[in-house]
Amino acid sequence: MQLRRVATSKMTHLHRTSTSPQLHKYRIQKMVFCFLIRTVSAADRVTLRRRTLIGAVTVSALIILALLGGIVITAHRLMEVLDQLNTVSDVTKEFPSLSRKEGIVPEEVWRWIVAAKAAMTLNPQSAHELLSVSSDGKRLYQASSSSPPRVSTTETYLWCLCVASKNLLNTRAYFELEVTQSVPWTLGLCTESFNADNTPDTHPERGIWTIRSAESKIIINDGKATPTPYATPAKLGLYLDYARGQVSFYDSVARLHLHTYLTSFKEKLRFYAAVRVGIEETQEALISFV
């Protein structure tokens, strides 16, 4: 047993003696490797941080450029829209004068006129006793002789065979009427205070602006009964521009301008219609709002 210890001791000493330079070399290599690993890791971290920063800056720059691009595109589009609106505005400034120009009304002007369409109804209380208004206020008929007598009111026309609208107008308004071809008629606008029982409906200075039919032609009731070459239309359009003092009449089927009154209004206006009915009764509507 003593011999074994001696042998083991000698072997251990021999092993340490023989491996010490190798161990020392290994430790040095390990230290160099760890140093290199640390150096490389530090460099990688710096590189990674740089790349991350560059990436973030690049993305931010792209976002900013995209936003700026969107702003530029939006601003450009906005300018285009504004230019279009200005162009439309410049064009529509001409519409009032074009709406009263002789001849056919341009289509875009006609759409502008018709866009001001008003819902009109007749006032049955205003109708002369020989006239009758439909229950919806849209049509005027000759009253039947068999109908019971109607009680007159302060609104009823007693002498003039006419009727007025319920509507009082003081803005832009357009409406159309189908008019009879069988009896003469007078149509237009009058002031709220105009009374056809004691004032002729042929003088604009009295507060009434009308045209009438005679022998299938249109006559202007301008105080001189000015004739026109225009045939009595089956459908009549009436346009009011209160602010501009304009009352215009059209053949609405042909979009043909018939006549325009230009004045200044101090009162609200009513639609006014007078018809000449005969002894023979007719069942057809004399005037119909459409």
Count CA atoms within 13 Å of residue 101 on its CB side. Answer: 11
Cross-strand pairs, 246: 241, 262
* Whole-structure pTM value: 0.70
pLDDT, tens digit, 9 for 90 and up, residues 177-190 = 999 999 999 999 99
Higher pLDDT, 132 or 66: 132
Q: What's 126's DSSP letter?
A: G
Centroid of chain to Cα 149: 48
At position 24, the amino acid (one-letter code) is: H
Higher pLDDT, 156 or 73: 156
What is the structure's pLDDT at 15?
Answer: 46
What is the structure's pLDDT at 79?
Answer: 65
What average pLDDT does this structure show over 56-63?
Answer: 75
Cross-strand pairs, 212: 186, 219
Structural tokens at position 263: 């004045």
Nearest to 193 by CA among 247, 128, 267: 267
Q: Which residues touch 176 (CB under 8 Å, ≥6 apart)?
A: 235, 236, 237, 238, 252, 289, 290
Edge-first strand order for the sheet with 226-231 is 162-164, 269-275, 185-191, 208-214, 217-220, 226-231
Length of the chain, please? Answer: 290
Residue 114 near residue 238 (C-beta atoms within 8 A): no
Q: What's 201's DSSP letter?
A: T
Please report which confidence band the pLDDT of residue 156 belongs to, taking 50, 70 and 90 as the band edges. Answer: very high
Q: What's 45's DSSP letter?
A: H
pLDDT, tens digit, 9 for 90 and up, residues 131-151 = 999 999 999 999 988 888 888
Q: Which residues touch 284 (CB under 8 Å, ≥6 apart)?
A: 141, 180, 182
